[in-house]
Amino acid sequence: MTEHPRTPDGPGLGTRSVHAGDRRDTHGAIHPPIYPHSTFAFARTADLLDVIEERTAGALYTRYGGNPTVVATEAKLADLEGAQAALAFSSGMAAISAALLAHVRTGEQIVCVGDLYGGTYELLTENLPRLGITTAFLPAEHLDRLPAACTDATRVVFFETPSNPTLTVLDIAAVSAAARAAGALTIIDNTFATPVNQNPLAHGADLVMHSATKYLGGHSDLTAGALMGSAELLAPVAFWRKNLGQMIAPEVSSLLARSLRSLPVRVARHNAGAAAVAAFLAGHPAVVRVNYPGLAAGAAKTVVDKQMRGHGGMLSFVLDADAAATAAVVDRLALFSIAGSLGGVESLVTQPITTSHHGMPPAERRRRGISDGMIRLSVGLEDPADLIADLEQALAPLAR
Ligand code: PLP
């Protein structure tokens, strides 16, 4: 793992996303080359020992870390989140599972605040309990009960903000302070916001993770994960990544770096498109509720304004309709593809009950406000007017 010290008044995000971590090779290739190699040779045994015993940084075996292509991408990832260091993974779930396994042991506990991605919920409720690691779930509206929810066994407070799929915004500084007071680490899933709209480490979080499959990759053509934070907190995670075999492939890592160079430009456009779509939906007679950080009011708006620079490309809305009528609206959409992911250049639509939260028990879904009439949109880079026209025709039968 390479560390990446930062200066407080360095270049802006656009400049950093293009240049951070990129060093020319001896041929002057404009971006770092792909080293697909699994293994690296040494002139002398002593040189190999220096790397394996961590006296010098270097590549030895790609799964261990240190592959130059991956190191360059990790430098860019660290820079974007204002972190000392970053680890890249084969998926977002690899990043979450390695972070939790590295920092929570058998008999210890995780506290999870608010709602979260269904896969993470499955990991916390089905996989980790088999290892004796349990999770206490605290609804977002009971954030004030966090100190009481943390016990002597609590090692990590985990949450998403904005969350999937209700787009609930949690106060990162408040949660992080409560976790720290309880002796626990704060780990945030920053996938929905992206580092362009929000840098949780600057608000007191200890580790920030991304499903890089989403906005960081941005084109629905790669699967990857990222974890950023201090070198000290990432070191044990790198050990788990190595032995669970969760290393990102060098080819994917290069593709991810390619995408990161345009991240600020893409996210600015996602933000603008989603804001326009959210405003349209908020004024539509068939829509009961729109969940979008840009529409937050009161105390929620105060939190949004404090920690977000932009409101993101994700939103969900609720129809007064059953699952079948809601599916019919989804099926009438032409520009939005029905697909269970997000963050790509193309607009996507899902009913959370059929995709991201399909595995969550119905009673638990209801408790979290994930209703049969909920539709989640990932607003892509198409012209917002075209997306709005598509939504208008799909909702028209309900408006009559
Ligand atoms: N976190 C969030 C918010 C997600 O939406 C997802 C995937 O949908 C994940 C984590 C898991 O990421 P991956 O699919 O890259 O493993």
For 34-64, write each residue's pLDDT tens digit.
999 999 999 999 999 999 998 999 999 999 9
- For residue 294, report the distance from its CA to the centre of ligand 1, in Å: 22
pLDDT digit string (tens) for 199-255?
A: 999 999 999 999 999 999 999 999 999 999 999 999 999 999 999 999 999 999 999
Q: 22, 50, 63, 269: which is the annotated catalytic residue? A: 63
Which residue's C-alpha comes closest to atom 8 of ligand 1?
Answer: 341
Share of the chain above pLDDT 90, in %: 88
Q: Cα separation of 172 and 150, whole Å?
A: 17
Query: Which ligand 1 atom is at minimum distance from the Cα of 95?
Result: 16
What is the model's pLDDT at position 1? 53
pLDDT digit string (tens) for 156-178?
A: 999 999 998 999 999 999 999 99
When comparing pLDDT for 357 and 133, which is higher? 133
Q: Cα separation of 369 and 141, whole Å?
A: 12
Q: Cα separation of 287 and 99, whole Å?
A: 39
pLDDT digit string (tens) for 304-346?
A: 999 999 999 999 999 999 999 999 999 999 999 999 899 999 9
- For residue 95, report the distance from its CA to the centre of ligand 1, in Å: 10
Segment 65-77 mean pLDDT: 97
Q: 117, 121, 215, 292: which is the annotated catalytic residue? A: 117
Q: What average pLDDT is seen over the chain?
A: 94
Specify whether 76 is catalytic: no
Q: 79, 115, 171, 189: which is the annotated catalytic residue? A: 189
What is the model's pLDDT at position 100? 98
Q: 16, 155, 214, 365: which is the annotated catalytic residue? A: 214
Tell me, letter by letter, the H, E, C secondary structure of the chain: CCCCCCCCCCCCHHHHHHHCCCCCCCCCCCCCCCCCCCECCCCCHHHHHHHHCCCCCCCCEHHHCCCHHHHHHHHHHHHHCCCCEEEEECCHHHHHHHHHHHHCCCCCEEEEECCCCHHHHHHHHHHHHHHCCEEEEECHHHHHHHHHHCCCCEEEEEEECCCCCCCCCCCHHHHHHHHHHCCCEEEEECCCCHHHHCCHHHHCCCEEEEECCCCCCCCCCCCCEEEEECHHHHHHHHHHHHHHCCECCHHHHHHHHHHHCCHHHHHHHHHHHHHHHHHHHHCCCCEEEEECHHHCCHHHHHHHHHHCCCCCCEEEEEECCCHHHHHHHHHHCCCCEECCCCCCCCCEEECHHHCCCCCCCHHHHHHCCCCCCEEEEECCCCCHHHHHHHHHHHHHHHHC
Specify whether 63 is catalytic: yes
The answer to whether residue 130 scores a pLDDT higher than 60 is: yes
The answer to whether residue 5 scores a pLDDT higher than 50 is: no
What is the model's pLDDT at position 69? 97
What is the model's pLDDT at position 6? 52
Q: Cα separation of 182 and 147, whole Å?
A: 7
Ligand 1 lining (C-beta closer than 6 Å): 91-93, 117, 119-120, 160, 164, 189, 191-192, 211, 213, 223, 225
What is the model's pLDDT at position 144? 92
- For residue 224, report the distance from its CA to the centre of ligand 1, in Å: 9
